[in-house]
Amino acid sequence: MTQTLHGGCQCGAVRYEAAGEPLLVALCHCSMCRRANAAPVVAWAMFREEQVRFDRAAPTLYNSSPGARRGVCRTCGTQVSFTGDAIPGLIDLTVGSFDDPGKLTPSLHYWDEKRLPWMRFDDGLPHHAQFPPFE
Ligand SMILES: [Zn+2]
Ligand SMILES: [Zn+2]
């Protein structure tokens, strides 16, 4: 059975569905995600672009750095997606924008070298200094 997960921004203008299993669910500690989401850490679920469909308005894209595109709702400002040159053919969706984020369990941390000193975890997951999380 193939699961289909649904989600969207806070106001509901942007809605999506993601079919099948994510390739990766992980927590990012980079300063760009932190600022873009005004949150100390951001959880991401990565899919192939063809797994994800936007049902209503598509997110508005802005370049947070060269080759990095963050998709936000133009009405409520929720960050929904990340696409970029570093992950060709893939799309990251913010775990917090899913209707049932508890189903998406992170398996690792990345950009740990940027982690806030008071942001501590006892989840036992690997922490990778940068992205991609290979070492
Ligand atoms: Zn919205
Ligand atoms: Zn990040």
User: Do 68 and 32 form a contact (C-beta atoms < 8 A)?
Assistant: yes
In this prediction the pTM is 0.95
Span 92-127, pLDDT tens digits: 999 999 999 999 999 999 999 999 999 999 999 999
Half-sphere exposure (Cβ direction) of 79: Cα atoms closer than 13 Å = 25
% the chain with pLDDT above 70: 98
Ligand 1 centroid–CA 125 distance in Å is 32
Ligand 1 centroid to 130 CA: how many Å?
30
Taking 90 as the threshold, does the pLDDT of residue 132 lie above it? no
For residue 44, give the ligand nearest its CA: 2
Closest-approaching ligand to the CA atom of 76: 1
Q: List the structure tokens of 98.
A: 């899913």
Interval 8-17: pLDDT, tens = 999 999 999 9
Q: Is the pLDDT of residue 135 over 80?
A: no
> What average pLDDT does the structure give for the chain?
95
| Whole-number Å distance between alpha carbons of 79 and 70 | 7
**Whole-angstrom Cα distance, residue 14 to residue 93?**
12
Q: Which ligand is nearest to the CA of 29?
A: 2
- Reduce the DSSP state of residue 66 to 3 states and report it: coil
H or E, element range at 121: none
Based on the number of CB atoms within 10 Å of its own CB, is 64 exposed (0-12), middle (13-18) or buried (19 or more)?
middle
Measure the CA angle with vertex 82, ends 34 and 133; round to 5°.
75
Q: How does pLDDT run across 34-47, given as a tens digit for each residue?
A: 999 999 999 999 99
